[in-house]
């Protein structure tokens, strides 16, 4: 059904269609409406799920973990400071191999106080063992929740579906909300091999000495590796049933592209328009959108970027004292390649600063007219 919905509600409907059974959440701007709709759907019986009011995001994740450990499908959502407060338990959820799916609306940290978009909140969680998917439309937000349960439950790891504050979370656009019966065919009920069950008691997460802890960490890495193929395969299966395909990356006008602009989320969406305009001017330029940040698609990047003349990465995040995270990972992926192209790193749009087509054209102009990066990192549009 074609509906006009905001990104926040795309998360809510994704959880509803996935038949999430337990929702534990604490409201935080701009995520609040995700929780409002879910609590309403639970209260009026449209969703057969237990809604747990908690007193903090740390408790929201702890309750999600408890629910997931019993074999229930758990969902939560947060933003910014709320995600930061979950940090400790995020490690636990991944270590316990719980297939929780969470929505995170990218919002800048305070101080100074901000409610606008920036990726630093989710980037700060990159080493927790969670998979990270960055969506670039409300349709993709909804579809990614459904796909994420399918992937998470196969590899027993939690997944974060991430979207930009306001630019998606509070933007209304046309979204096709799929039929429940088709979603049910794509996503069967969760059956966990090991779960908390009082009839068959087990201990979970007990003290593990150095003789085995190391192997358990290796298995998380194996599962992350396995997820790469699984995301591609479940994305193809999704296309067969729903007509839309999602993989690790999205390529746009890349066939003969000499200059490649790399970004994520809604900056990558706007880049489509810029690429079209530059192509009309005869520029051989293409877009590579990194959709999945964990696991990082290094192999795909090496393959796709082989033989290109120049690459630029645009980050809406900053690892202070260094550079943007997508830039770091892209460089690392190509470092051992012979004759890899020069890679330019740009910071743009922190704290919700609008990233317009003109800003992106400025970036292209720098890349086009500079033979090799003259700076470690380019900050675009700083007024100082």
Partner 1 sequence: MIEIRFHGRGGQGTVVASKALAEAIALEDRYVQTFPEYGVERRGAPVMAYTRIDNKPIYIRSKVYTPNYVIVMDPTLIGAVDVAVGLKSGGSIIINTEKRPEDYKNFIDKGYKVYTIDATSIAIKHRLGSKASPIVNTAMLGAVAAYTGLVGLNAVVEGVRKLSPVKKDENVMAAKEAYKIAEEVKNG
Number of residues counted as binding partner 1 (CB under 8 A): 25
Of 50, 154, 170, 253, the one binding partner 1 (CB under 8 A) is 170
Of 185, 188, 354, 365, the one binding partner 1 (CB under 8 A) is 354
Gap between the Cα atoms of 378 and 366, Å rounded: 10
Residue whose C-alpha is closest to residue 82's, from 106, 102, 101, 57: 57
**Does 266 contact partner 1 by CB under 8 A?**
yes
**Does 253 contact partner 1 by CB under 8 A?**
no
Query: What minimum distance in Å lies between the beta carbon of 6 and partner 1?
Result: 8
- Give 98 or 268: the residue with its C-beta nearer to partner 1: 268
Helix (H, G, I), strand (E, B) or coil at 162: strand
**Does 270 contact partner 1 by CB under 8 A?**
yes
Task: Give phi and psi for 131, each to the nearest 5.
Answer: -80, 150
Paired strand residues for 294: 132
Query: What minimum distance in Å lies between the beta carbon of 328 and partner 1?
Result: 24
Query: What minimum distance in Å lies between the beta carbon of 316 and partner 1?
Result: 12
Contact set for partner 1, span 172-211 (CB under 8 A): 172-174
- Give 113 or 212: the residue with its C-beta nearer to partner 1: 113
- Give 88 or 176: the residue with its C-beta nearer to partner 1: 176
Contact set for partner 1, span 23-52 (CB under 8 A): 30
DSSP structure class, residue 181: H
Neighbours of 27 (CB within 10 A): 18
DSSP structure class, residue 330: H
Q: By the 8 A CB rule, do 70 and 196 touch?
A: yes
Stretch that binds partner 1, among 167-175, 187-195, 310-318, 365-373 (CB under 8 A): 167-175
DSSP 227-273: HHHHHHHHHHHHHHHHS----SEEEES-TT-SEEEEE-HHHHHHHHH
Q: By the 8 A CB rule, do 324 and 317 touch?
A: yes
Query: What minimum distance in Å lies between the beta carbon of 352 and partner 1?
Result: 9
Of 2, 209, 338, 383, the one binding partner 1 (CB under 8 A) is 2
């Amino acid at each position: 059904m074609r509906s006009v919905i905001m990104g926040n509600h795309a998360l809510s409907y994704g959880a509803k269609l996935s038949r999430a059974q337990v929702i534990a959440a604490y409201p935080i701007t701009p995520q609040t409406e995700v929780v409002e709709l879910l609590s309403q759907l639970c209260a009026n019986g449209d969703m057969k799920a237990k809604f747990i009011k908690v007193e903090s995001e740390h408790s929201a994740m702890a309750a999600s973990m408890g629910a997931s450990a019993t074999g229930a499908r758990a969902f939560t959502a947060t933003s910014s400071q709320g995600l930061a407060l979950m940090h400790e338990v995020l490690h636990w959820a991944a270590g316990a191999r719980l297939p929780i799916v969470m929505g995170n609306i990218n919002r800048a940290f305070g101080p100074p106080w901000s409610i606008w978009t920036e990726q630093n909140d989710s980037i700060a969680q990159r080493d927790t063992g969670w998979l990270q998917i960055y969506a670039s439309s409300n349709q993709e937000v909804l579809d990614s929740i459904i796909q994420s349960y399918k992937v998470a439950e196969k590899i027993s790891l939690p997944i974060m579906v991430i979207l930009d504050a306001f630019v998606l979370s509070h933007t209304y656009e046309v979204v096709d909300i799929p039929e429940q019966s088709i979603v049910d065919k794509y996503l069967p009920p969760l059956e966990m091999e090991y779960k908390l069950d009082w009839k068959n008691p087990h201990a979970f997460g007990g003290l593990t000495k150095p003789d085995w802890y190391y192997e358990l960490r290796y298995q998380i890495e194996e599962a992350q590796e396995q997820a790469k193929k699984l995301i591609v395969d479940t994305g193809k299966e999704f296309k067969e049933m729903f007509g839309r395909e999602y993989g690790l990356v999205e390529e746009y006008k890349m066939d003969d592209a000499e200059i490649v602009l790399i970004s994520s989320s809604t900056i990558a969406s706007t880049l489509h328009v810029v690429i079209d305009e530059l192509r009309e001017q005869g520029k051989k330029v293409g877009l590579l959108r990194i959709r999945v940040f964990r696991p990082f698609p290094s192999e795909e990047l090496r393959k796709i970027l082989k033989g290109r003349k120049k690459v630029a990465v645009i980050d809406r995040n900053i690892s202070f004292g260094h550079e943007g995270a997508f830039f770091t990972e892209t460089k690392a992926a190509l470092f051992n390649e012979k004759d890899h192209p020069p890679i330019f790193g740009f910071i743009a749009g922190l704290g919700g600063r609008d990233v317009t087509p003109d800003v992106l054209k400025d970036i292209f102009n720098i890349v086009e007219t500079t033979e090799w990066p003259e700076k470690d990192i380019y900050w675009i549009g700083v007024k100082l």
